[in-house]
C-alpha cells in the first residue's frame, strides 16, 4: 500500500512525502542496551521517503536478511519550511502533526557493517524501514517535553517511554537538523527510541500508542 500523510480523522495532508530525518541513541537506556556510548551531541541520519509505509493494515518485513528490530519513535511532521537557524517559535509553528512510528533496523546487517567501519544505510533505509501512523494535529499537543510512546507486541508491552527521557528534546533536535538539512513541508522527523528494542516476526500483533492521543493496531504480514 502506498503511503500518504494523513491526520487521525482520515483527512489527507497535501504535503508530498519528503525525507525522514532521524536521531540515533536519543534515550540513554537504549544506547546502553545496545552497548553503545551515550552521545554528547546529536547523532543524525536520513532515511529516504521511499522507505515509508503506512502502519494501518499491516506491513511486511524482509525475511532473508537476518533479524529485523522494531524501534518505536515519536514522529514529527514538518508543515512549513524552516530556516537554517530557527528559534523555538519558528520550530513550533512548523510542526503540522505528531504520530507514533516504527524505525525498523536490520540489526545483523547493521552490526556487520559497523564492525567493518562501513556506512549502514542498507540496514536502516531499506524499503519498508519506516512505518508511520496517522498524525495528531500539532496544535493538539501542548507539551512536547512529555509525550508518551508505547509499543505492545502480542499483548506484552515492549517499549514504554516519554519524550521527557530524551537526551536532546524535540525542539532542539529539530533546530540542530535544520542547521544541516533543508527541512521542508512533508519531511518527517524521527526523534529516537526508548529502551526495549528487539526482533519482529511475521504474524506479530502490534499496538502502537502515542499515549493519551492516538492508538493503532497493526500486524507483521
The answer to whether residues 195 and 212 touch, using CB atoms and an 8 Å cutoff, is: no
- Report the DSSP beta bridge partners of residue 219: 205
- Amino acid 199: pLDDT: 97
Handedness of CA 139, 18, 58, 105 (dihedral sign): negative
How much is the mean pLDDT over the chain? Answer: 96
Instruction: Return the CATH number of 20-219, one of 1.10.3720.10, 3.40.50.1820, 3.90.850.10, 2.70.150.10.
Output: 3.90.850.10
Q: How far apart are CA 193 and CA 160, in angstroms?
A: 10
The candidate with the shortest Cα–Cα distance to 191, out of 92, 64, 98, is 98
| CB neighbourhood size of 78 (10 A) | 26
Task: Report domain extents, the chain.
Answer: 20-219
Choose among 77, 4, 32: nearest CA to 196.
Answer: 32
Pairing of strands 95-103, 136-137: antiparallel
Which has the higher per-residue pLDDT, 99 or 38? Answer: 99
Which pLDDT tens digit goes with each residue over 135-187? 999 999 999 999 999 999 999 999 999 999 999 999 999 999 999 999 999 99
CA atoms within 13 A on the CB side of 20: 30
Contact (Cβ atoms closer than 8 angstroms) between residue 105 and residue 51: no
Do 139 and 173 touch, CB atoms closer than 8 A? no
- Which positions ≥6 away from 215 have C-beta within 8 Å? 207, 208, 209
pLDDT at 217: 98
pLDDT at 155: 98
User: 113-143, pLDDT tens digit by residue?
Assistant: 989 999 989 999 999 999 999 999 999 999 9
Distance CA 131, CA 54 (A): 6
Give dist(CA 93, CA 138) in Å, integer. Answer: 9
Amino acid at each position: 500500500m502506498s503511503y500518504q500523510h494523513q491526520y487521525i480523522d482520515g483527512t489527507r495532508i497535501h504535503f508530498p512525502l519528503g525525507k525522514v530525518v532521524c536521531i540515533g541513541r536519543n534515550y540513554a537506556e537504549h544506547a546502553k542496551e545496545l552497548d553503545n556510548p551515550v552521545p554528547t551531541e546529536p547523532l543524525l541520519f536520513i532515511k529516504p521517503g521511499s522507505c515509508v509505509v503506512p502502519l494501518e493494515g499491516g506491513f511486511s518485513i524482509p525475511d532473508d536478511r537476518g533479524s529485523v528490530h522494531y524501534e518505536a519513535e515519536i514522529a514529527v511532521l514538518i508543515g512549513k519550511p524552516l530556516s537554517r537557524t530557527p528559534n523555538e517559535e519558528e520550530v513550533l509553528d512548523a510542526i503540522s502533526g505528531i504520530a507514533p512510528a516504527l524505525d525498523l533496523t536490520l540489526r545483523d546487517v547493521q552490526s556487520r557493517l559497523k564492525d567493518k567501519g562501513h556506512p549502514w544505510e542498507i540496514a536502516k533505509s531499506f524499503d519498508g524501514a519506516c512505518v508511520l501512523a496517522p498524525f495528531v494535529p500539532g496544535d493538539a499537543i501542548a507539551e512536547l517535553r512529555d509525550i508518551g510512546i508505547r509499543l505492545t507486541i502480542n499483548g506484552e508491552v515492549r517499549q514504554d517511554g516519554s519524550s521527557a527521557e530524551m537526551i536532546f528534546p524535540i525542539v532542539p533536535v529539530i533546530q540542530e537538523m535544520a542547521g544541516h538539512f533543508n527541512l521542508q513541508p512533508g519531511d518527517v522527523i524521527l526523534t529516537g527510541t526508548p529502551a526495549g528494542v528487539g526482533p519482529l516476526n511475521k504474524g506479530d500483533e502490534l499496538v502502537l500508542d502515542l499515549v493519551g492521543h492516538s492508538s493503532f493496531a497493526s500486524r507483521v504480514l
